[in-house]
Amino acid sequence: MTDALSLVDDWGPEKIVVVSHRRTGMKGVLVIDNTARGVGKGGTRMSPNVSVEEVARLARVMTWKWAGVDLFYGGAKAGIVADPASPDKEAILRAFARALANEVPREYVMGLDMGLTEDDAAIIQDELGDRGAAVGTPAHLGGVAYDKLGVTGYGVAEAADAAAQHLQLPLSGARVALQGFGAVGRAAAVRFAELGATVVAVSTARGALHDPTGLDVPTLRAAHDAYGDDFVTRHSQGVVIQPGQELTVDCDILVPAALQDVIDAKTAHQIKARLVVEGANLPTSEQAQAVLAERGIAVLPDFIANAGGVVAAAFAMDARYSGFRPETPTIFETISKRLRANAVTVLEEAGRRGTTPHIAGRGLAEERVRAAMRSKGRLRS
C-alpha cells in the first residue's frame, strides 16, 4: 500500500482526499496536485483498479499539461474504485460527489476520464446542485461534448502533423499505427486520414489489425459502431495480430492512445517509427524515452500531444455558469493553433538542451508553475 506522504515533493500534491461510503461500497480519491496557476481541474475516472498512486501520477500530468498549453488551471485528478458497468454506478457516483462537497467546485472541478460519460457529469452537477461542479456534460445541457467532438484525438493528429513537419517527415502518405480505437484513437485516425496520412494499424483490447498498404478509416469506424472493440476480429481489412504488436509494426508515426505504461525499454528497442506521439497519458517509461532518444526517434510528450482535451475543457470551464454554449469552430481552431505551436517549441527546446522532449517540455512547464508559486509566496525564500 502506498504511503500518501511519500508522494509529496516540491510541487505537490497539495491535498489528497480519500473518501468512502458504506451503503454503496463507494471508495475513491481526489488528488489536488498544484493550484499555483488556478483551481484544480482534471478528469474523474472509474475503474476497479484505481489507486492513490495512479491518481497522483495523473494529477501531476495535469499540472504539466495546463502549464504546457499556458492555460490558468491547476493539476488535479480523481478516481473511483468501481466497475463502470455496475448497475449501482449512479448511486456510487452520487455518493462520491457528496463526499467531496467541501472541495467541489471551490478547489476541484470534476470532468470525464476513463469509465465516465457525459450523463455522469450531468449527474454530478445534479447531485451537488451546481452547474460549476463538473464539465463534459451533454451538448443539450450546454456542455462541450469532448468525446463526440473528438477534440483530444483531433489535437493529437494536429500536434503530430506539426512535429512531423519539423522533422521533415511529410504527413501526407506517412504510415501511422494507432494503439487504441476509443475516443482518442478513433478521432485521431479520422484526422490523420483527412491530413493525408495512411493508417496501417489499429487496436483494441480484443486485438489489432494491420495492413501495410493502409486501412480504410471510414470502414473501420462503421465496423466499430457495429461491433465495438470486437470489430478487429470481425473485419475483412488487414491481418489480425495480437494486442501490443501494433506498437512494433513498420510505420513512420506511432500513436499509443490507449493505456499508460505500455512502452518499456524492451519495446522501445523494437519500435520502427520515426516519431512517437503520446495520445494516452504516461504510455512510455523514462527508460523507454531514453532508449528512443538514443535511437534517434522523437517522442512528443503526452502533456503536449493530448492537450486538446484540456483546451476544450478551458472553454467548458469558462461556460459553466453561462447561458451560451462555446462555439465549436473556435474550440477546434484554438486546439490546432496551441498544440501545433507547442509541439514545435518542445522539439526545438529538446534540441537546444540536448535532452529528451519530455525533459525539455517539463522544464518549460516547471518554469511557468514555479513563477506562479514564487509570485504567490509558495516557495521557501
Residues catalogued as catalytic: 77
The cell 496536485 sits on which residue? 33
- Three cell numbers written together for 287: 527508460
Closest CA to 164 of 44, 287, 274: 274
Burial track 109-130 (b if 16+ CB lie within 10 A, e otherwise): bbbbbbbbbbebbbbbbbbbeb
CB 316 within 8 A of CB 136: yes
Closest CA to 339 of 206, 157, 142: 157
Gyration radius of the chain over CA positions: 20
Residues in Cβ contact with 235 at an 8 Å cutoff, skipping those fewer than 6 apart: 209, 219, 220, 223
Beta-strand pair 74-81/26-34: antiparallel
CB 292 within 8 A of CB 276: yes
DSSP secondary structure letters along 51-97: -HHHHHHHHHHHHHHHHHTT-S-EEEEEEEES-TT-TTHHHHHHHHH
CB 339 within 8 A of CB 305: yes
